[in-house]
Amino acid sequence: MTFPISEASPLRFPGPPPARADVVVLGGGVIGVMTAWHLAERGLRVVLCEKGRIAGEQSSRNWGWVRQQGRDLAELPIMMESLRLWKALAQEMGEGLGFRQEGVLYAARTEAEMAAHQAWLDAAAGHGLDTRMLTAGEVAGLIPGHGAPWVGAMFTPSDARAEPWQAVPLLAEGAVARGAVIVEDCAVRLLDVAAGRVAGVVTEQGRIACDQVVVAGGAWSSLFLRAHGVAIPQLSVLATVARTVPLPQVFAGNAVDDRLAFRRRADGGYTIAPGAAHDFFIGPDAFRNFAAYLPLLKQDFRSTRFRPMAPRHYPDGWGTPRRWAGDEVSPFERIRVLNPAPNPRVLAQIRADFGRVLPGLGAPAIADAWAGMIDTMPDVVPVIDRAPQLPGLVIATGMCGHGFGIGPGMGRVIAALVAGEAPGHDLTRFRLSRFTDGSKLVVGTGL
Ligand SMILES: Cc1cc2nc3c(=O)[nH]c(=O)nc-3n(C[C@H](O)[C@H](O)[C@H](O)COP(=O)(O)OP(=O)(O)OC[C@H]3O[C@@H](n4cnc5c(N)ncnc54)[C@H](O)[C@@H]3O)c2cc1C
User: What is the 3-class SS of 64-97, one letter each residue?
Assistant: CEECCCCCCCCCHHHHHHHHHHHHHHHHHHHHHH
* DSSP one-letter string for 218-236: GGGHHHHHHTTT-----EE
Confidence of residue 121 (pLDDT cuts 50, 70, 90): very high
**Distance in angstroms (rounded) separating the CA atoms of residues 31 and 38:** 11
- Quick one: pLDDT at residue 233? 98
Across residues 346-363, what is the average pLDDT? 98
315 lines ligand 1 (CB under 6 A): no
- Quick one: pLDDT at residue 88? 98
**Distance in angstroms (rounded) separating the CA atoms of residues 257 and 358:** 13
59 lines ligand 1 (CB under 6 A): yes
Residue 374: how many other CB atoms lie within 10 Å: 23
Residue 370 phi/psi, 5° resolution?
Answer: -155, 175
Distances (CA, A) of 24 to 39, 68, 330: 10, 30, 18
Burial of 117 (0-12, 13-18, 19+ CB in 10 A): buried
241 lines ligand 1 (CB under 6 A): yes
Tell me the sheet residues that pair with 394: 214, 386
Question: Does residue 446 carry a pLDDT above 80?
Answer: no
Question: Does residue 299 carry a pLDDT above 90?
Answer: no
Distance 218 CA to ligand 1 centre (A): 5
Coil, helix or strand at residue 138? helix
Kindly report the CA angle at 13 between 8 and 14, in degrees rounded to 5?
85
Identify the CA nearest to 394 among candidates 216, 202, 186: 216
**Distance in angstroms (rounded) separating the CA atoms of residues 39 and 175:** 9
| pLDDT, tens digit (0-9, with 9 covering 90-100), for 217-262 | 999 999 999 999 999 999 999 999 999 999 999 999 999 999 999 9
224 lines ligand 1 (CB under 6 A): yes
213 lines ligand 1 (CB under 6 A): no
CA of 254, closest atom in ligand 1 = 8
17 lines ligand 1 (CB under 6 A): no
Distance 374 CA to ligand 1 centre (A): 7
Residue of 38, 57, 230 best suited for mutating to test ligand 1, as the one with most atoms within 8 Å of CB: 57
Q: Are 382 and 403 spatial neighbours (Cβ–Cβ below 8 Å)?
A: yes
- Quick one: pLDDT at residue 48? 99
**Distance in angstroms (rounded) separating the CA atoms of residues 329 and 323:** 11
* DSSP one-letter string for 218-285: GGGHHHHHHTTT-----EEEEEEEEEEPP---S-SSEEE-SSEEEEE-TTSSEEEEESS-EEEE--HH
262 lines ligand 1 (CB under 6 A): no
- What's the whole-number average pLDDT of the chain? 96
| pLDDT, tens digit (0-9, with 9 covering 90-100), for 163-218 | 999 999 999 999 999 999 999 999 999 999 999 999 999 999 999 999 999 999 99
| pLDDT, tens digit (0-9, with 9 covering 90-100), for 123-137 | 999 999 999 999 999
**Distance in angstroms (rounded) separating the CA atoms of residues 38 and 174:** 10
pTM for the full predicted model: 0.98
User: Which residue's alpha carbon is nearest to atom 18 within ligand 1?
Assistant: 403
Q: Are 72 and 206 spatial neighbours (Cβ–Cβ below 8 Å)?
A: no
User: Which residue's alpha carbon is nearest to atom 13 within ligand 1?
Assistant: 402
- Quick one: pLDDT at residue 300? 76
| pLDDT, tens digit (0-9, with 9 covering 90-100), for 9-47 | 999 999 999 999 999 999 999 999 999 999 999 999 999
Question: Does residue 316 carry a pLDDT above 80?
Answer: yes
403 lines ligand 1 (CB under 6 A): yes
Question: Does residue 56 carry a pLDDT above 90?
Answer: yes
**Distance in angstroms (rounded) separating the CA atoms of residues 12 and 333:** 18
Confidence of residue 295 (pLDDT cuts 50, 70, 90): confident
Confidence of residue 302 (pLDDT cuts 50, 70, 90): confident
51 lines ligand 1 (CB under 6 A): yes
Confidence of residue 445 (pLDDT cuts 50, 70, 90): confident
Q: Are 115 and 156 spatial neighbours (Cβ–Cβ below 8 Å)?
A: no
- Quick one: pLDDT at residue 338? 98
Question: Does residue 3 carry a pLDDT above 90?
Answer: no
Tell me the sheet residues that pair with 133: 154
